[in-house]
Amino acid sequence: MSNTREFEPTDWKSPEMQARIRRRYRRDRNFRAMGFSAVVLAALFLVLLIGRIVQDGAMGFMQTSIDLDVTFSEDILGDPRTLDAAAFEEQVRQANMTRLLDAALTAQFPEVTSRRDRRALIRIISGGAREQLRTMVLEQPAIVGTTKTVRLLAADDIDQLRKGKIDADEPEANRKVKDQELGWYNKLVEEDRVSLNFHTRFFTSGDSRDPELAGIWGATVGSALTLVVTLLIAFPVGVLTAIYLEEFAPQNRLTDIIEININNLAAVPSIVFGLLGLAVFLGVMHLPRSAPMVGGLTLALMTLPTIIIAARASIKAVPPSIRDAARGLGASPMQVVFHHVVPLAMPGILTGTIIGMAQALGETAPLLMIGMVAFIVDIPGSFTDAATALPVQIFLWADSPERAFVEKTSAAIMVLLTFLISMNGLAIWLRQKFERQW
């Protein structure tokens, strides 16, 4: 034992050692500082982005209305007491509501007499006011013959004026709202007839050329139907594929090739899937254009790789000891997989699916390619009706010339972001809930 070599005693307190320690601590601090600054910077950008969107979009949820005294005259609407229900309805539907409006406005502004001025006056009320009045009469026929103060939607220019987006102090040549209209507006304001209210119609109506009438419900339903189709196709196919590849497929060249291709597909630009959808679903299979079914199929193709990869990772993460235990008891390979592996992998699979769905919700390009870009006013009723989707709607509105659409676009973005955040939140919650300690 005496021929082993010995270490020289280390002087841990020497100045070199101390310098090393200080250097180490400094590097540590620097790295932490960098990390912290990065987080702060990211937070700042986030605040900026969200702040901007909220600033632009907050007003999109509010809409200006004007209170007018409207006389529901019998001559235009018909007498519900003398006519039977069907005839009355027919009359009301055919009635020229503009005349009612015209009468109400002239009553409000008696000084307006010329035809040209009266047309200008009517333009301060939204085009949808006519339908508003019609619906009122149909719902409450007794209203005929009375005069009521009705809250009617203002036109989009007036709305923007009220929200301060149009500057009254600018020279008239540069303004959308001319002096004449401005005067009428101010008079209405004096009489306390102008109000800014929460615009539920934004959430209940389909698209429209008029910003004050436009809503996202059509696009929401379209998105929902599309996602349902995507989920129904992508989830079972994706999960079963992952199970097969991970548990049952033989380990050979072919399986490797399939694996490589699936991984690559996850990185393919989504517009390529749109082209595929266009060529196959529309061109070859002649499925209805713009339908959620086609959109769903295309998005399903796009989401499949995500789901398969997430599902495979979850399945791989199930510890082999559980499989051994099941196999040792005499469970067949199918029983091992479906009784033990899949339930334990389910949280991960669900998380992956939700993330995939959130991705699909926000995709625009493939939907553009298969035609879900048309101007659709009606709310889609089935998987084969023409529809549009939220991101596409946002894209269309962003393109519109009307000023009022700017805030609507931001408002729609806020709605879309809320959906995405809640879906991701759901994924996180699910993961937390099902987290197990092996």
Partner 1 sequence: MLDMSTKVDPMTETRKPKMAAKDVNVFYGDNHAVKGISLDLYRDEVTALIGPSGCGKSTFLRCLNRMNDTVASCRVEGNITLDGDNIYDPKIDVVQLRARVGMVFQKPNPFPKSIYDNIAYGPRIHGLARERADLDEIVAISLEKAGLWNEVKDRLDSPGTALSGGQQQRLCIARAIAVNPEVILMDEPCSALDPIATAKVEALIDELKGKYAIIIVTHSMQQAARISQKTAFFHMGDLVEHGDTTQIFTSPKEERTRDYITGRFG
Q: Which residues bind partner 1 (CB under 8 A)?
A: 251, 321-322, 324-332, 335, 339-340, 344, 436-438
CB of 250 to partner 1, least distance (A): 8
Task: Provide CB contacts within 8 A for 137, sequence distance 6+.
Answer: 72, 77, 92, 143, 144
| Nearer to partner 1 (CB atom), residue 182 or residue 322 | 322
| Nearer to partner 1 (CB atom), residue 280 or residue 322 | 322
CA 205 – CA 213 distance, rounded (Å): 7
| Nearer to partner 1 (CB atom), residue 187 or residue 327 | 327
SS3 assignment, position 215: coil
Tokens of 267: 């990185």
| Nearer to partner 1 (CB atom), residue 258 or residue 331 | 331
Residue whose structure tokens are 């103060």:
149
CB of 338 to partner 1, least distance (A): 11
Chain centroid, CA 321 distance in Å: 44
| Nearer to partner 1 (CB atom), residue 74 or residue 324 | 324
Nearest partner of 423 among 264, 298, 303, judged by Cα? 303
Nearest partner of 354 among 434, 430, 261, judged by Cα? 430
CB of 432 to partner 1, least distance (A): 16
- What sign does the CA torsion over 155, 160, 161, 167 have? negative
Task: Provide CB contacts within 8 A for 314, sequence distance 6+.
Answer: 345, 346, 347, 348, 349, 352
CA 97 – CA 94 distance, rounded (Å): 9
b/e burial code for range 84-109 (CB count within 10 A of at least 16 → b): eeeebbebbeebebbebbbbbbeebb
| Nearer to partner 1 (CB atom), residue 7 or residue 438 | 438
E runs forming strands in 107-260: 147-153, 194-198
CB of 434 to partner 1, least distance (A): 11
CB of 243 to partner 1, least distance (A): 16
Chain centroid, CA 7 distance in Å: 69
CB of 332 to partner 1, least distance (A): 5
| Nearer to partner 1 (CB atom), residue 300 or residue 336 | 336
CB of 328 to partner 1, least distance (A): 4
CB of 337 to partner 1, least distance (A): 13
| Nearer to partner 1 (CB atom), residue 338 or residue 383 | 338
